Amino acid sequence: MKLNTNYLGFNLSSPIVPSASPLSENVDNIRAMEDYGAGAVVMYSLFEEQIEHESHELDHYLTAGTDSFSESLSFFPDMNTYVTGPDLYLEKIRRAREAVDIPVIASLNGASPGGWTNHARLMEEAGASAIELNLYYIPTDIDISGEQIEKRYLAVVKLVREAVGIPVAVKLSPYFSSTAHFANELCKVGASGLVLFNRFYQPDLDIYNLEVVPSLHLSSPAEIRLPLRWIAMLYNRIPADLALTSGVHSYQDVIKGLMAGASVVQMASELLKHGISRIQDILEATNTWLEEHEYDSVEQLQGSMSQMHVADPSAFERANYMRVLKSWQEDPMGTAL
Ligand SMILES: Cc1cc2nc3c(=O)[nH]c(=O)nc-3n(C[C@H](O)[C@H](O)[C@H](O)COP(=O)(O)O)c2cc1C
């Protein structure tokens, strides 16, 4: 059976897309992803801070030099050819583009409107098929309202949208007062896809050494439920393709994501832990399941358990909360949860 799916205007050969992670720093890994059946690949992120830092450093360097020696400009390499962190990223896009036929999605990570967003155009020129814009920000300022933050995000998306001709997907956090409304606003400023959701890495406290410890844990399968629910609720309600990220570890998770309404499911933790070849195992098992359950295509499956299509749409809303709490009394071991 064919596992084709449409995402961001591309017809992908499969719905599994390795998400942004260090795996894509290496072009051999990207080749392996394609060989094992990935439909596309999202590169690791280039961060706003990297771009801004670099341009400040370079400005300072050049200005300091020209002040002291008028002829010194000739010593410096041309700004455009200077090999920098962001330049290395563009080089990796070029190499990936040459190495594989699947779409290579570049990842730009930031949160404030500024010149760094122009890097999206350089990514397009380097051969990126699409941009995944990760809006990762922790709003801590007590004087800034949610509305101001949303406006800022929309301005960033608009800038990136205006910089490129290729599709732009936005990877966002689950923490909005009105997630569905904001998702639709993102579409209005030009997002063709939404990637749900960013995983937040919460620091821990070391009570013995009195330190705040940054810690990275890979995801667990239970984490799929948050994006699953929102994808089910947004499917066919907003004009964007949906990608599910967080907690995809098995073929069951792939099927759940597609049934909820995702066009693709992204994977990082599972591939980091068990290797890129997991893509093939999971695709084969997905295929077998679809055949056994007499599905002819991914399209037939997609959205079949979205809020619009399930028998009880309230299962995704407040009524579900009340039912879940009640199920504890009926089933104290919690197996129904
Ligand atoms: C080691 C590591 C590095 C990551 N780097 C990035 C990154 O550069 N940009 C990004 O958008 N997400 C990044 N992520 C998040 C993943 O793309 C993904 O959204 C998240 O891990 C949830 O998916 P999972 O449950 O399949 O791991 C990273 C995740 C891990 C574990």
**Confidence check: pLDDT of 7 > 70:** yes
Answer with the residue of higher pLDDT: 69 or 263: 263
The region of weakest confidence among 74-83, 120-129, 317-326 is 74-83
Q: What percent of the chain has pLDDT over 90?
A: 73
The region of weakest confidence among 2-16, 82-96, 241-255 is 82-96
* pLDDT classification of 262: cutoffs 50, 70, 90: very high
Cα separation values, 289 from 244, 249, 298, 330, Å = 20, 16, 12, 32
Which of 51-55, 83-87, 115-119, 199-203 has maximum average pLDDT? 115-119
- Kindly report the backbone phi and psi dihedral angles of residue 159, in degrees, each rounded to the nearest multiple of 5, phi listed first: -60, -45
* pLDDT classification of 229: cutoffs 50, 70, 90: very high
Alpha helix segments (H runs only) across 127-277: 146-163, 179-188, 225-234, 251-260, 269-274
- What is the pLDDT averaged over residues 25-37? 98
Average pLDDT over the chain, rounded to an integer? 89
Q: Is the CB of 129 under 6 A from ligand 1?
A: no
Answer with the residue of higher pLDDT: 330 or 193: 193
- What is the pLDDT averaged over residues 84-94? 91
User: CA–CA separation, 258 vs 282, rounded Å?
Assistant: 14
Q: What is the pLDDT of residue 300?
A: 94
- pTM for the whole structure: 0.89
| Tens-place pLDDT, residues 52-88 | 877 665 555 444 544 443 444 444 444 444 445 899 9
Q: How far is the CA of 336 from the centre of ligand 1 (A)?
A: 30
Q: What percent of the chain has pLDDT over 70?
A: 88
Within its chain, how far is the Cα of 166 from the centroid? 16
Q: What is the pLDDT of residue 75?
A: 42
Q: How far is the CA of 258 from the centre of ligand 1 (A)?
A: 20
Q: Is the CB of 20 under 6 A from ligand 1?
A: yes
CATH classification code of 5-306: 3.20.20.70
Q: What is the DSSP string of 126-159?
A: HT-SEEEEE-------TTS-HHHHHHHHHHHHHH
Q: How far is the CA of 220 from the centre of ligand 1 (A)?
A: 13
240, two tokens: 């964007």
- What is the pLDDT averaged over residues 270-293? 97
Partners of 244 in the beta sheet?
196, 265
Q: Is the CB of 245 under 6 A from ligand 1?
A: yes
Buried b (16+ CB within 10 A) or exposed e, 156-184: bbbbbbebbebbbbbbbbeebeebeebbb
Q: Are 107 and 43 in contact (CB under 8 A)?
A: yes
User: CA–CA separation, 4 vs 23, rounded Å?
Assistant: 24
Q: How far is the CA of 114 from the centre of ligand 1 (A)?
A: 24
* Distance in Å from the first CA to the final CA of the chain: 33
* pLDDT classification of 228: cutoffs 50, 70, 90: very high
Q: Where in the chain is the domain with CATH 3.20.20.70?
A: 5-306
Q: What is the pLDDT of residue 76?
A: 41
**Confidence check: pLDDT of 144 > 90:** yes
Q: Is the CB of 197 under 6 A from ligand 1?
A: no
Q: What is the pLDDT of residue 65?
A: 46
Q: Is the CB of 196 under 6 A from ligand 1?
A: no
Ligand 1 atom having least distance to the Cα of 216: 31
Q: How far is the CA of 79 from the centre of ligand 1 (A)?
A: 31
Q: What is the pLDDT of residue 52?
A: 84
**Confidence check: pLDDT of 202 > 90:** no
Q: What is the pLDDT of residue 74?
A: 44
Q: What is the pLDDT of residue 81?
A: 46
Residue 76 CB neighbours (<10 A): 13
Q: How far is the CA of 110 from the centre of ligand 1 (A)?
A: 15
Q: What is the pLDDT of residue 83?
A: 43
> Nearest 5°: CA angle at 103, between 102 and 107?
135
3-state helix, strand, coil in the chain (%, to 5): 50, 15, 35
274, two tokens: 């068990």
